Structure 1
Amino acid sequence: MAGETQRIAAIKDPFALLRAATNRLAEAQQEVTELSRLRQRVIAELHDQGMSYAQIAAEAGLTRGRIHQLRQSAPGPESAFLGNTRLIIATPLKQEAQNARPVLAAEDFAAAQRLGDLARSYKLDPSFEHVPIGGDIDLNREDLIVICGPRLSSHVAGVLAQDPSIQFERAPDGPWTLRDQETGTAYRSGMDSTPATNSDVAYLGRLPRPDGRGLVMVLTGIHPQGTLGVIHLIVHDLADLYEKVGTGRFSVLVNVDYDPASNEPMNVRLLSPFYRHGAN
């Protein structure tokens, strides 16, 4: 019996033992998932370098069938773009004049659900929470994705202000815009333009947390339609995103053309390169 298991088994209080065993199981599962992802990544890299699965199996002391089984059973390495064994998805509540209670935009709800479905497909465990009215949210947590912009949370605004390449700015006539600091170009949502178009501009980035001890992913459109476009990009191009930026700091601008009847994205394209920020 391993030392940690012996320690837990020796706990006299049954409820303390139950809590300790549950916590240790969660930690062990995270280790198993991370090791499985690492093992799959090494197999894929060796195969990409020209080795056959039979050769990899022979060198590793495994059978070819076991190598194929490992490839199929482990979550793809690109799942690390989202998180480790879990994923916390936070969406903002808004106060609308006609409603006494705070509400969640339908697009933000759909975005969170689609992200959760993607996480589950990679054997991650998603949970959902809200950024409350006033924007007070703890951003100093692992595996957190926040679907929120600077208007609804000063905490999120503080994180976004660290981005050296892309900034949210107010236009002189009021609407929010996204400025590419590298080119000097300011992008305005189509619905805030004259004539108006069925398009939006959105942000996706991973930036330092306020405590400086990790990173937090933030995504949002200038309007909710743009948020759905970013989710479309993540869902359909996760492997490419992981290949380009891994789990490090980055940001990118996204243009989203949407169906005005459903607000669903019809065409999603990048407006900027993937800007990688400093040491990752």
Structure 2
Amino acid sequence: MTTIVDRPPAIHVKDLEKSYKDLQVLRGVDFDVAPGAIFALLGSNGAGKTTIVRILSTLLRADAGTATVNGFDVAAQPTDVRESISLTGQFAAVDEILTGRENLVLVARLRHLPNPGAVADDLLTRFDLTGAAARRVSGYSGGMRRRLDIAMSLIGTPRVVFLDEPTTGLDPQARNDMWQIVRDLADDGTTVLLTTQYLEEAEKLADRIAILHEGRIIANGTLAEIKQLVPPAEVTYVEKQASLEDVFLAIVGTDTTKEQS
């Protein structure tokens, strides 16, 4: 886990609301994310996780409420927000015709960075892609594409990274590799907001976990704090410690009716 310094939040969300026609997806969402923390937003499909990420990354406007990222208002200062963040969506946004290195060089040039080739080579090494640098991305595995996608999103050294279900569709080894990448980002001082449906992912990575259900945050705290919401089950002589999955299902119930996210 990362060490959290008592500073103003890197992300501040207050009373956030969003509807799609008659469907109210967010119903007054509140949370803060400390600088350099890994914050997991946990919820079922349709809970509103992606909607929150899209609002915080300025891709969508909220109907009500306020949100700031790195001290910039997402509605009033969208350009400043975009310059200080990166976003990795649920599907890798890479050019399959180009090689891995060419993808990185292209993004570095678009960001007007000096010596884009050196930037690309450094990221290829960091993400263990040097051996595949000259290969077209169309021949990459799912885990390699995801690593390249995140490497591309880190060009320019963003202070906040949004990872929207980054391990969806990955095999167990690729998922473990991705978890290490997320830990490394936080160790370097990057703030990470991670959305996930995988309870184990939140349990292993997050400094704080927020559970989003039916458009509201219904639990927010450290893993230990959230586990305390459900009393331990008792057997004859053994006390069972509740898992995060036990807590999640106890809080939200077993109704996973899908809403639009």
Normalising by structure 1, report the TM-score. Answer: 0.25
Bigger share in helix:
1
Comparing both chains, which one has the higher relative contact order based on Cα–Cα distances under 8 Å and sequence gaps of 6 or more? 2
Normalising by structure 2, report the TM-score. Answer: 0.26
Q: Which is higher, the Rg of structure 1 or of structure 2?
A: 1
